[in-house]
Structure 1
Amino acid sequence: MVPTVLEKTLLVESAPIYWEQACRELMKQDRILKKLIPKYGSGFLVTRGDAFTTLARAIVGQQISVAAAQAVWDRVLIASKKKINPKNILSLSSEELRGAGLSGRKVEYIRDLADHFHSGRLHANQWQDMDDESVIRELSSIRGIGRWTAEMFLIFNLVRPNILPLDDVGLLKAISLNYFSGEPVSRHEARELAANWAPWRTVATWYMWRSIDPIPVEY
């Protein structure tokens, strides 16, 4: 789908302040990104949700495709009367959430997430000032949120510039296709390769995702 003029404007306004600098430096440092960034250069990392929405979407998206996750999210949105927040999620029964396409385990996870926010047990107002690993530790205390989900939050909500989600299947697939002629890639190999992307590993990861799915990922 070609973005409208309004959508392009929103994307530009939402672009992280480091994005252009990161793209310039990555194109100088990496031969593959030198080709990929101009190819998909009209897009940016965009976040449209608050902290709860970002984490809830990440839970929904665990271990399923982007398209499948969007379909489930749309049904959860309808079930929650077009407004997803902790109170509305807690007001839905487990049966209603399963009816939207969530597995029994994901129902437990998203309700536990909602309860953490609703009860004020999280330091959400401090996350902007906390370092990456401290945020990951706090988020990992919530059921169903492991390192991958916490890293998605750091990328898509806090927009941290140097996150490398090595547990992300899409990232490993893209590295395999772009750098290793489709041969399987270990997390160790991916980490070594991505050392060349620092301090902009988030931006490089975003372009890796774009290389296998031209529709930008959002949470």
Structure 2
Amino acid sequence: MVEQTQTQPQTTHPPQSPPPPPSSDPPPSPPNSSSKIPFRPKKIRKLSNSNPKPPTKKPQQEPPNSTPQILPPPPPPFIPPKTLSSEGEISTALRHLRTVDPHLARIIDFHDPPSFQNFHPPFHSLTRSILYQQLAVKAGDSIYSRFLSLCGDAGVLPDSVLALTPQQLRQIGISGRKASYLHDLASKYRSGILSDSSIVILDDKSLFSMLTMVKGIGPWSVHMFMIFSLHRPDVLPVGDLGVRKGVQLLYGLEDLPKPSQMEKLCERWRPYRSVGSWYMWRLVETKGASAMGSGVGSGQEPQLFDSVNGFANLGSLFEQPRPSD
């Protein structure tokens, strides 16, 4: 029996790639636990409700032993005093002045009582006072008469004054500077800063502040306006030279009193310092006739007021310059 040799099939292996050459780099070190990045949990954003509730404020607790703050009451509304043109007001003023000041009482007894009869509207009076600044009475009367004609039938009103050009005003003798004063006054009326109704109800201090905002109207003009146009009873024109000279004569002062001294000397006249000032003009006017008792003679009484809203005209015995403010 022939022995058969069984040949097993040879398995062929794919040729193996040569091993990589050894790396010169050191083998990687095992990871270090300290170099791991710490895990941060993600913040979960809560969705707000569609209608969130407003945060409630905790009531503020007052410190112990604290008293609640009491606000002062509002000042009472200003009530304008009776004007000097009111019935019986001059008599009341004279009784008061005679009582509080014996020196002034002798001057009061020597002269007739004052009369306040100018009733022009405030705007008209202020316009007039501007026109007469630094003018003699006759020159002022002439310019004022032409001014009234220029205003026409409408009268002296803010709109009629604003309608006049500086050239028209110069043609009747009003300087360019005074024309600007008139227009500034009328403009403040048109804008509502000033009005006849507000002027009447303002207290003296507020009125003084408002009117001195107008170009060409200074303290002296405001004081004269308050006395002779509004007939305010308690106005002391401390800067008026005639009133200061009258106080000097009344109390026998060596020097002309300063405005600060005037306030102190005339404090006793309140609330009728306007009337006391009126008598100071009379005292200076009659200086040469010994106002303390000898009279002014049988002739016509010297003119006290010119036609500028009754502004004082002290005459030749004591020349008072009209301030330009």
TM-score, normalising length from structure 1? 0.77
Confirm whether residue 15 of structure 1 aligns to residue 85 of structure 2.
yes
> 1:72, 1:102 within 8 Å by CA — same for their partners in 2?
yes
Q: Distance in 2 between matches of 1:182 and 1:70?
A: 38
Confirm whether residue 38 of structure 1 aligns to residue 109 of structure 2.
yes
Do the aligned partners of residues 50 and 123 (structure 1) sit closer, same or farther apart at CA in structure 2, a change above 3 Å counting? closer
> 1:27, 1:37 within 8 Å by CA — same for their partners in 2?
yes
Of 240, 262, 274, the match for 1:190: 262
Deviates most, 117-126 or 161-170: 117-126
Letter in 2 for 1:54: S
SS at match of 1:216: coil
Which residue of the partner structure matches residue 305 of structure 2? Answer: 216
> 2:247, 2:280 within 8 Å by CA — same for their partners in 1?
yes
Q: Distance in 1 between matches of 2:139 and 2:180?
A: 19
Of 81, 100, 124, the match for 2:172: 100
Q: Distance in 2 between matches of 1:49 and 1:111?
A: 19
> 2:123, 2:196 within 8 Å by CA — same for their partners in 1?
no
Confirm whether residue 148 of structure 1 aligns to residue 207 of structure 2.
no
Confirm whether residue 157 of structure 1 aligns to residue 157 of structure 2.
no
Confirm whether residue 53 of structure 1 aligns to residue 124 of structure 2.
yes
Which residue of the partner structure matches residue 150 of structure 2? Answer: 79
Of 168, 193, 213, the match for 2:240: 168
Letter in 1 for 2:93: A
Query: Which whole-Å deviations, capped at 9, do the CAs of 1:45-96 have from their partners, x for residues lacking one?
Result: 2322101012112223434455554444334223334732222222322233
Aligned residue-pair number: 206
> 2:122, 2:199 within 8 Å by CA — same for their partners in 1?
no
Q: Which ranges of structure 1 fall in alignment gaps of 5 or more residues?
A: 1-13
TM-score, normalising length from structure 2? 0.55
Letter in 1 for 2:257: V
SS at match of 2:99: helix
Do the aligned partners of residues 91 and 65 (structure 1) sit closer, same or farther apart at CA in structure 2, a change above 3 Å counting? same
Query: Which whole-Å deviations, capped at 9, do the CAs of 1:13-37 have from their partners, x for residues lacking one?
Result: x823422111111122223432332
SS at match of 1:20: helix
Query: Which whole-Å deviations, capped at 9, do the CAs of 1:89-143 have from their partners, x for residues lacking one?
Result: 2232223323434333222111211222234332542333322111112222222
SS at match of 1:188: helix
Letter in 1 for 2:145: D
Percent identical across equivalent pairs?
Answer: 32
Q: Distance in 2 between matches of 1:162 and 1:65?
A: 28
Q: Distance in 1 between matches of 2:140 and 2:247?
A: 23
Q: Distance in 2 between matches of 1:206 and 1:23?
A: 12
Do the aligned partners of residues 32 and 80 (structure 1) sit closer, same or farther apart at CA in structure 2, a change above 3 Å counting? farther
Q: Distance in 2 between matches of 1:75 and 1:97?
A: 9
> 2:220, 2:239 within 8 Å by CA — same for their partners in 1?
yes
Do the aligned partners of residues 58 and 69 (structure 1) sit closer, same or farther apart at CA in structure 2, a change above 3 Å counting? same
> 2:122, 2:229 within 8 Å by CA — same for their partners in 1?
yes
Letter in 2 for 1:47: N
How far apart are residue 182 of structure 1 and its match? 8.4
Q: Which ranges of structure 2 fall in alignment gaps of 5 or more residues?
A: 1-83, 286-301, 310-325
Letter in 1 for 2:211: L
Q: Distance in 1 between matches of 2:254 and 2:158?
A: 42
